[in-house]
Chains A and B, each alone.
Chain A
Amino acid sequence: MGGLSNAAYLFIVAVGLSLVFGALRVINMAHGSLYMIAAFVTVVVANRLGLALGFWVGLLAAVIVTGAVGVLIEIVVLRRVYREEHLIQLLGTYAVTLIVAGAVRIIFGSNYRTMSPPQLFSGSLSLAGYRYSVYSLFMIGAAIMIAVGVNLMLYRTALGRNIRAAVSDSELLSASGVNVARLFTTVFAIGAGLAALGGVIVAPSQAVGTSMDSDVLVLAFAISVIGGLGSIIGSAVGAVLVGEIYSFGLVNPYTNQFALAFVFIIMTAVLTIRPWGLFGRAEQ
C-alpha cells in the first residue's frame, strides 16, 4: 500500500512530464521544480489556514502559482529552444531548476516543513485485517481520477485532438489553422498543473524540503523511460513498478541505502529489451 500511494503521486508527476515531452519534444528538467513549488505553497497555506480548509485552499493556490510559473517558463525559455537540439533544451530547463531552487530557498528557507492531511482524509481504517491511512487511499483515488481525466481530455476534446496532432506534425497543424504557439503554452501549463497536483498531494505524506525537486525528477524520468515517454498507460504501469520497488527497497533495513538502485536495475532491464519503453513507440 505504501508502494501504491508512492506510485500515485509519482504517476501524477510522470504523466505531466510525459505529456509535455510527447507534444513539445522537450525534456523538461524543471518539472520537478514545479512540483516542489506546489508542495511548498501547499504547506505554507495549509499551516496558516488550518486542518479543515488549508489543504484545499493550498491546492488551489499551488495550481495557480505553479501554472503561472509554467506559462512564464514556456514563453521565456522553451520558445527559444524548440528548434534546438535536446542538449540545448536540457541546459535551458536545467538552468530553470537552479533558478527555482535558489528562489525557493530565499522565499521559504531551507528547513523541512510538514503538514497534516486534510481533516476529511485523516486517520486510518482497516481493510481485510490491515490498517491503511485514509490519506494513502485518497492519493490512489486522486491518481486514478487524474489518469481518467487526462485520457478524456486527450481523446474526447478538441484540445486533446490538437495535442495528439501536434505530437505527429506541428507544422501541418499550424498550416491547418491551429495556433501552435498557444497550444504549446497550454500543454505546458497542463503539464505544470499536473506537476503541481503531484506536489500538493505529496505534501501531507512527506517532509517538504528543498531537495524534493531532483528526488522526484529522477523517479519520474525512470517511470517515463520504463513506461515509454509520451504514453499515459506507460506512465501508470511505470509508476506502479517504480513505486512498489522503491518502497520495497526503503522498507527493508538491509536495502534502504540502495532503494534507488533497484529502480535503475529495472530501468536498465527494460531498456535492454525495449529501448523505447514498455508502451512507447520506436522513433522513426
Chain B
Amino acid sequence: MKLMNALMSPVGRKVLTGATGIGLVAFVIAHMIGNLTYLSPDVNAYNAYAYKLMSLGWLFYTIEILLALCFLLHAVVGISIQVRRRKARPVGYKFYKSAGAPGKSGYSARSMIFTGIILLGFLILHLNSFKYGPGVAEGYTVELAGIGEVRDLRRLMTEKFQEPLYAFGYPLVMILLGMHMRHGVWSALQSLGVMSRRLSPYLYTTAAILGVLVAVGFLFVPLYIYFGV
C-alpha cells in the first residue's frame, strides 16, 4: 500500500514513466538491431532471428507481457501527467515564451505528448501489419536450413515497404520516435535520479546521440526496400 502511494506521488509517477521508458528504449534498440539483420548478406538472417525470438517460449511471452505493461503504464501515466497539467494551471498565459538555455525544453521536450500519442497509434497499426499480419496460414513461409518451414516475415516486410505510404510513413514516425527519445532518455535518467552535477552534461548529449541513432537505424530498412537499392 505504501509502495502504491509512493508510486502515485509526483516523484513516483515520474519514476514509473522513467523506468517504463527505459524498458521501452531497450526494446526499441533491440528491435532496431533485429531489423538491421534484413540488410545482412545472408537473406535468411532476418527470418532466422525472428524464429529464434519466438522459440524462446515462456521467456518470450514474459518479455512481451512486460513490454505490454511498460507501454500501458508509460502511456497511462504520461497522459495523466498531461491531464494534471491542465488542473495545475486552469487559466493559461495570454503570452508565454520559453526562456531558452540553460532550460532544455526544445521541440522534442514540448511535443512529448503528441509524439507519444502518435507512437501509440503507430504501435497498434504496426502490430496489426506485422505481428498479427499474414503468416504461415496465408502462405508466407520460408524454408530455413536445419529448422524447417517458418513464417516469412522478410517477404511481408519487403511487400509492405514497397508501398509508398509505409515506406515514407514509417520513417516519419521513426523521426518522431527519435525526438521522443531525445527528451525521453535524459528525462528518464533525471526522473530516476541518475543525473548529477558531474554526469548531467554527458548524459544529456548521450540522449541526443541515441535519439538520432535510433531514428536513423529504423530509417534504413524501409528506404532500402522502397528504393530497391
A and B pair up: no
